[in-house]
Amino acid sequence: MLTDIIVNFSHAGVVVFGGLIALWVISVAVRDASLIDIYWGFGFLLVGAVCLYLANPKTPYLMLLAALPIIWGARLTLYLAKRNLGHGEDKRYVNMRRRAKKNKGIREMPWRLRSLFTIYFGQGLLIMIVSAPVWVAMATGAPNLDILNMIKITEAITPLEYLKTSGFEPYYPNILAILGAILWLIGFLFEAIGDAQLAAFLKRNKDYDGPADEKPVMDKGLWKYTRHPNYFGNACMWWGIWLVACQAPWGWVTIFAPIIMTLLLTKVSGRDLLERDMGKRKNYQDYIERTSGFIPLPPASKLAKKN
């Protein structure tokens, strides 16, 4: 069991970090470190795909578990690629590079070399940690065919058919895995619909050049009930993936993964970081007062700003 976990982790890690190195080379050539943003969802897709490739046999339970990060990663990658490509390097990375030059005298190329280890490999490490429910459960939830082939069964039944009738729990998704898949679907819809609504809003208001305090705020659709439906949806998906993983032996120990993802979305690189500047605008301050910061709730006249 431990060997299978190590195999999944090591193979997925090699593919994820190999992809990161290739992307970094491209980013240096085009001078755009923000290409890493597009890789975030794609990295999880790679983990799911590698673990599914290694699974033998590919039971319905394992295919469900692998499909969740693959589908999410594909959608997010396509969305971010369409949104980001062709717009130059994101200002966050431009500011990081300028600060490094101003404060430490680091020129552009040395900074980009350092970005491989700090930004690119840092994100790769997070991908591997957060995807733990996938590579752990895909390993421990897979039947050992070597043992099955040693079982003396009649010639009329194959090891795979034996599994279906032997009570091997992770063969088919149980009620816990089904509930996890439903939670994942709710999160997927929140993220996808929220992203689509925001993209349409930004397109309608792209030519706004008035006062910052009067700049329109997206407060329609899902954004009426939470200031970050896409982040809420992302968190739901990873709690759903963890629930699915709990069907497999030792899947429950990976609870740190959805906790870390939720903290990233709310405290580190998500909501709090995004609202650090936006929250200074009067229109957005009003939006904060009437709209939940994460969990969807009916709009109110005032909500605690810390929510």
H helices then E strands: how many in the chain?
A: 14, 0
Q: What is the pLDDT of residues 137-173, one digit of tens each?
A: 999 987 655 545 555 455 555 656 666 555 556 678 9
Contact 234, 245 (CB under 8 A): no
Residue 301 located in a structural domain: no
- Whole-number average pLDDT of the chain: 88
Residue 302 located in a structural domain: no
Residue 207 located in a structural domain: yes
Return the pLDDT at 25. Answer: 96
Return the pLDDT at 306. Answer: 45
Residue 196 located in a structural domain: yes
pTM of the complete model: 0.87
Return the pLDDT at 92. Answer: 83
**Percent of residues in the chain assigned helix, strand, coil, to nearest 5:** 75, 0, 25
Residue 227 located in a structural domain: yes
The count of structural domains within the chain is 1
Return the pLDDT at 154. Answer: 52
Residue 305 located in a structural domain: no
Q: What is the pLDDT of residues 100-132, one digit of tens each?
A: 888 888 888 888 898 999 999 999 999 999 999
Residue 298 located in a structural domain: no
Sign of the four-CA dihedral 136, 142, 148, 149: negative
Q: Which residues form the domain of 255?
A: 2-290
Q: What is the pLDDT of residues 73-104, one digit of tens each?
A: 999 999 999 998 888 888 888 888 888 888 88
Residue 161 located in a structural domain: yes
Q: What is the pLDDT of residues 20-61, one digit of tens each?
A: 999 999 999 999 999 999 999 999 999 999 999 999 888 899
